[in-house]
Amino acid sequence: MSRRIVVILAALILLTCTARAQVPANGTSNTLSRGNERPPVMSSEELAKQPQTPGATGEQERHYYFADAGLESPYHLYVPTTYDGKKKMPLILALHGAGARDNYFFRPAYGTPALLEKYGFIFVTPLGYDEFGAYGAMFVSRVPAVTYPGVAPNLIGQRRPKWTPEEAARVNDLSEKDVMNVLAIVEKEYNVDTSSVYLMGHSMGGMGTWYLGQKYAEKWAGLGVMSGGFGYVDYPFRRLIGIPLIITAGGMDTALHGAEAQAGLAKLRAASLDPVYIEVPGATHMSNIPTSFPQVLAFFATHHR
């Protein structure tokens, strides 16, 4: 796999080893629900039969036919109950972490519905074709392990398919397309303020935010990266000039903290960017989310391009 593609070299969190597998017919492997239970993946055919109500408000499991992949693909949507279709609303496109699903940001501990009602954001999380799809930010073959003192090694990385370079490139391409398809679908169905569309993600989703952030820089009113790494090869930092940035990390996150974070911030500032950086004391890679997530939404609510 080429090491010269624009790629986040630091901190591919939650991936400690790989396991050989094929891409399933529905583009996913095992799922993570709101808790620790792991329900079976719904097939594309089963998903296509699930009802959805156009223009509905509240939390919704949605799906659409992803023609390039030849299957039905899910996405998770929240529309504030104050939405009436007359007034434009800002939108947040959120990217989940590796090995997870499109309901990633809806664990009860995160308080997502209340936050979205408070700030008035439409919020959508695509699957990105596969749990490890990377949203176009192609992985290199070697990535740092994420370990915490006294904590057993995370097993999510063991589920990551060991794709050939050609397979990985295809999944990467489909992952990026899925994200942008979902954004277009929601913008068409709802009265979205397209001048106030924000992109955020955690972990793999943070790396996807860096990648899609620069590639579609004209679309974003702000970027939020939680534990998403800083290291790039030939990253076009200057494409982000004028876009508000917030970056967060946990003080105990072995994927991103301390000297590495400071080195990354120095690169951003050297490129005339002015990111807000928040490090949560004592937080690990995952426990960073409950504190950082509300801060990212508050940042978006008060920052515009």
Q: Is residue 28 part of a domain?
A: no
Q: Is residue 243 part of a domain?
A: yes
Note the pLDDT of residue 1.
41
Q: Which residues contact 191 (CB under 8 A, 6 or more apart)?
A: 83, 85, 86, 87, 88, 89
Distances (CA, A) of 266 to 6, 9, 23, 243: 19, 16, 39, 17
Note the pLDDT of residue 286.
85
**Pairwise CA distance, residues 105 & 293, whole Å:** 9
Angle at which helices 204-215 and 165-189 pack, to 10 degrees? Answer: 70
**185-215 confidence digits (pLDDT tens):** 999 999 999 999 999 999 889 889 999 999 9
Q: How many domains is the chain partitioned into structurally?
A: 1
Q: Is residue 9 part of a domain?
A: no
Which residues face 174 on adjacent strands?
none
| Domain coverage including residue 53 | 46-302
Note the pLDDT of residue 40.
62
Note the pLDDT of residue 214.
93
Take residue 105 and report the two structure tokens written for it. 């940001």
CATH assignment of the domain containing 253 = 3.40.50.1820
Nearest Cα to 304, choosing from 192, 187, 183, 196? Answer: 196
Residue type, 31: T
247 φψ region: left (φ > 0), alpha (ψ -120 to 50), beta (else): beta
Q: Is residue 14 part of a domain?
A: no
11 φψ region: left (φ > 0), alpha (ψ -120 to 50), beta (else): left
| Number of helical (H) and strand (E) elements in the chain, helices listed first | 6, 8
Q: Is residue 17 part of a domain?
A: no
9 φψ region: left (φ > 0), alpha (ψ -120 to 50), beta (else): alpha
**Pairwise CA distance, residues 227 & 253, whole Å:** 8
Note the pLDDT of residue 142.
32
pTM score of the predicted model: 0.82
> Which residues, given as ranges, of the chain have pLDDT below 70?
1-40, 139-159, 230-233, 254-261
Note the pLDDT of residue 246.
95
Q: Is residue 97 part of a domain?
A: yes
Q: Is residue 99 part of a domain?
A: yes
**242-271 confidence digits (pLDDT tens):** 999 999 888 887 665 556 667 778 888 889
Q: What share of the chain is helix, strand, coil (3-state, %, to 5)?
A: 30, 20, 50
Q: Is residue 64 part of a domain?
A: yes
Note the pLDDT of residue 37.
41
